[in-house]
Amino acid sequence: MKISLLAGKPAPPGILVDVPRLIAAYYTGVPDPAVPAQRVAFGTSGHRGSSFNLAFNEAHVLAITQAICLYRARQKISGPLFLGIDTHALSAPACATALEVLAANQVEVMIAEGDDYTPTPVISHAILTYNRGRKTGLADGIVITPSHNPPHDGGFKYNPPNGGPADKTVTGWIEAKANALLETHLEGVKRMPYERALRAPTTHRHDYLKAYVNDLGNVINMDVIRSAKLRLGVDPLGGAGVHYWARIAERHALDLTVVNDAVDPTFRFMTVDWDGQIRMDPSSPYAMARLIGMKDRFDLSFACDTDHDRHGIITPDDGLLPPNHFLAVAISQLFQNRPKWTKKAAIGKTAVSSAMIDRVTAKLGRKLYEVPVGFKWFVDGLLDGSLGFGGEESAGASFLRLDGSVWTTDKDGFIPCLLAAEITARTGRNPGEIYRGLTQEFGEPFYDRVEAPATPWQKAVLAKLSLEQIKLTELAGEKIEAMHTRAPGNHVALGGVKVVTASGWFAARPSGTEDIYKIYAESFRDEAHLRKILEEAQTVVSAALTKDATPKMAPLSPAPHQKTAREAVETWENEGDPN
């Protein structure tokens, strides 16, 4: 990947988004559903795009919201819908549009007091809190956010009554219905003026902040943090959690400083990401350069992305920890310090996360539940407690409450940050120090991810890559132990391929949100071995994607059954660990 000369530097005025033009384009742009890039498309985390290129306009939001109303009626979801937004420029206009449709459809809607921003995990928490003990009249939610995407993007996510990201069955139905509405010029969309929608008897105010902040002591040991008197710093990166952190500090008596509480839809206070764009990614050392520069002011500092479902942890000695490092530390510490969690609770990871997690899991004597990319695969396990933890290499995670019951079924950026403080307070060592201890015990991994542009055709080819197309018996000088096109944990298609040896692996897959493909690789030997793995992986991908190739688009062998986390644990107990 070519690193921009602007990477890690303050954003120059010339790259800031023109907010008035962006919002004008939202209202005036008319997408053409005959153009694939202008249709509704739910990727790994909702529908995303920019109004500038007719990918996120009022018509999209009208169609998606009406489709969700129809889905709710079809599924007899009659409880309240919890509606939240982040701080992207397109989020507030999209929220107004969505409310006009929801009110016209007589949906009971819960919006934030004071029109405050509402993080993704807070919506999940609200849904689950409302639904606890209920069998009927269940709640669901919408979060209007493109996550950490650049300021010109908008996004729209639906969370069904399980509180987590909707699975493909749900999003597929909503997507198809929304596109059908676009094709009929929005015929059938119900709508009322915004001022009427605000005053509608079905529109209610909800104190999201108080409910979430007051409950944090049931998932994190706040007493331990408070007693240690740690100096904590946090940068909300101008995101939806901007008003939450000060209340967390006040409610739980923590020495926590919010280093930047600015909200600006241009995000001009950010340092530029690796590719020359502004991106609120707490796992990027370029986007986090400002907070990294403050690392010596605090015992621990952290940040979250714009909708606060991803985390970044900074220590004085190590700077920004790679997400894989903290995931391994979090798992190691959680499963040794949560005595009320069931001994059967498994550990969930995505297939592209570090194999250090596999080694830590084995040492703990727990089941590893390895799934494709996408937090939706952890929802059922977190909900029923068969998963104690679910995490992604892209810095998304959630875990159970102290008593072993569900906290959120969507990614939560707050609790990994607070867990880092709990770990530091309890052990006297920060997560970077603990990770170095893990490398002494299990070996030091070298991990990297590379990205490259890909056409829709190339992405489709890579997603359907068959094992027969991979002419390898060795990888970087080692015998191949396994090749997967389905995840070992739940038997679901990876949408790509993963090749594993005794001391390394690579995985290749198309992006679910951008026209790129990604190659992930890891070596437990050294940097040179990692580069060799990446080189050979690139050869495999290039051969599959060449225009002269006629790759077999053979269907995957049918999986007998998509396994839930609970079923995977039962199989492990009865037949031994299949991973």
Residues annotated as catalytic are: 147
In angstroms, rounded to a whole number, what is the distance separating the alpha carbons of residues 68 and 173?
Answer: 9
Which string of b and e fits 99-130 if b means at least 16 CB within 10 Å?
bbbbbbbebbbbbbeeebbbbbbbbbbbbbeb
In angstroms, rounded to a whole number, what is the distance separating the alpha carbons of residues 397 and 392?
Answer: 6
Do the Cβ atoms of 462 and 517 come closer than 8 Å? yes
List the one residue out of 324, 318, 251, 265 whose CA is nearest residue 93. Answer: 265
Backbone angles phi, psi at 10, to 5 degrees: -55, 145
List the one residue out of 388, 399, 394, 346 whose CA is nearest residue 374. Answer: 394
- Helix H or strand E segment including 235: strand 232-235
Taken in order 244, 247, 252, 253, the sign of the CA dihedral is: positive
Q: What is the SS3 assignment for 79? A: coil
List the one residue out of 169, 200, 178, 185 whose CA is nearest residue 68. Answer: 178
Question: CA 65 → CA 356, 513, 536, 556, distances in Å?
Answer: 41, 20, 45, 34
Which string of b and e fits 382-401 if b means at least 16 CB within 10 Å?
bbebbbbbbbbbbbbbbbbb
- Between CA 143 and CA 150, with CA 148 as vertex, the angle to 5 degrees is 110
Structure tokens at 370: 């390895």
In angstroms, rounded to a whole number, what is the distance separating the alpha carbons of residues 410 and 119?
Answer: 11
Structure tokens at 322: 């790679």
